[in-house]
């Protein structure tokens, strides 16, 4: 009987102590902050300023949702402008391989000549069509003609590369000129159809280039 009484008294005495401890902790926390912790959205809303009015039309809502993103029309207009400036030969908009006065001079030298290598692409199309025909005679003659044309183009490319390299070295004596690089650039330019060259030719065939 005595043991039970002591246990009951111990439990009864511990309960008020625990409750008082919790109350002290709660009062300490509330006294330290003085207010409940705001939520993240509320804090961001107070920092960002007043809430803008709701959109009046669907188009306005769509523009607001996109923010500062550029529209397709603006991107298309910018791409068209860059393409036009590149075709005009503006150095800022050209590819790195086409920039500089040396490359511009090479293009003028190549564009001022009528080159057999300009028929390279039409010749490739002709050979492809000839290979699709069932006639073996047509295929044989097309292959023979293609072989002679390719040999002539290679010879012309070598001659053109040496000619252009010599003129470029005379025009730009202080520039580091590599004959192989100049010759390859000239060959690639000359092997393209004139209307498809990028940038567009500034000179006409037969013009004198100094």
The 10s digit of each residue's pLDDT in 84-136 is 888 988 888 899 999 999 999 999 999 999 988 888 888 888 888 888 888 88
Distance, in Å, from the CA atom of 207 to the CA atom of 111, rounded to the nearest integer, reads: 9
Residue 3 lies in a domain: no
Domain that holds residue 106: 96-191
Q: What's the whole-model pTM score?
A: 0.62
Residue 80 within any structural domain of the chain: yes
Is the predicted pLDDT of residue 27 greater than 50, yes or no?
Answer: no
H or E element in which residue 105 lies: helix 101-111
Q: How confident is the model at residue 10 (pLDDT cuts 50, 70, 90)?
A: very low
Mean pLDDT of 55-78: 69
**Do residue 117 and residue 174 come from a single domain?**
yes
pLDDT at 107: 95
- Indicate if 185 and 103 belong to the same structural domain: yes
Pair 102, 134 in one domain: yes
Q: Does residue 112 share a domain with residue 84?
A: no
Query: Band of the pLDDT at 170, cuts 50, 70, 90?
Result: very high
- The structural domain count of the chain equals 2
Average pLDDT of the chain? 77
- Count CB neighbours of 181 within 10 A: 13
Inter-axis angle of helices 120-132 and 136-171, nearest 10: 170
Residues listed for the chain: 210
Token couple for 151? 């040999």
Distance CA 94, CA 24 (A): 75
């Amino acid at each position: 009987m005595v043991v039970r009484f002591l246990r009951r008294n111990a439990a009864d005495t511990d309960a008020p102590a625990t409750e008082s401890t919790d109350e002290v902790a709660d009062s300490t926390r509330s006294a330290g902050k003085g207010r409940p912790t705001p939520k993240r959205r509320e804090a961001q809303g107070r920092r960002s300023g007043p809430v803008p009015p709701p959109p009046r039309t669907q188009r306005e809502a769509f523009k607001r949702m996109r923010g500062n993103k550029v529209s397709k029309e603006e991107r298309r207009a910018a791409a068209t402008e860059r393409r036009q400036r590149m075709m005009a030969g503006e150095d800022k908009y050209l590819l790195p391989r086409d920039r500089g006065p040396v490359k511009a001079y090479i293009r003028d030298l190549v564009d001022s000549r009528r080159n057999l290598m300009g028929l390279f692409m039409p010749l490739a199309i002709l050979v492809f069509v000839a290979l699709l025909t069932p006639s073996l005679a047509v295929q044989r003659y097309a292959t023979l003609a293609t072989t002679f044309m390719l040999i002539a183009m290679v010879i012309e490319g070598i001659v053109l590369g040496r000619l252009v390299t010599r003129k470029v070295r005379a025009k730009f004596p202080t520039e580091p000129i590599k004959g192989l690089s100049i010759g390859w650039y000239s060959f690639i330019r000359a092997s393209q159809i004139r209307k498809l060259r990028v940038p567009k030719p500034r000179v006409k065939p037969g013009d004198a280039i100094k």
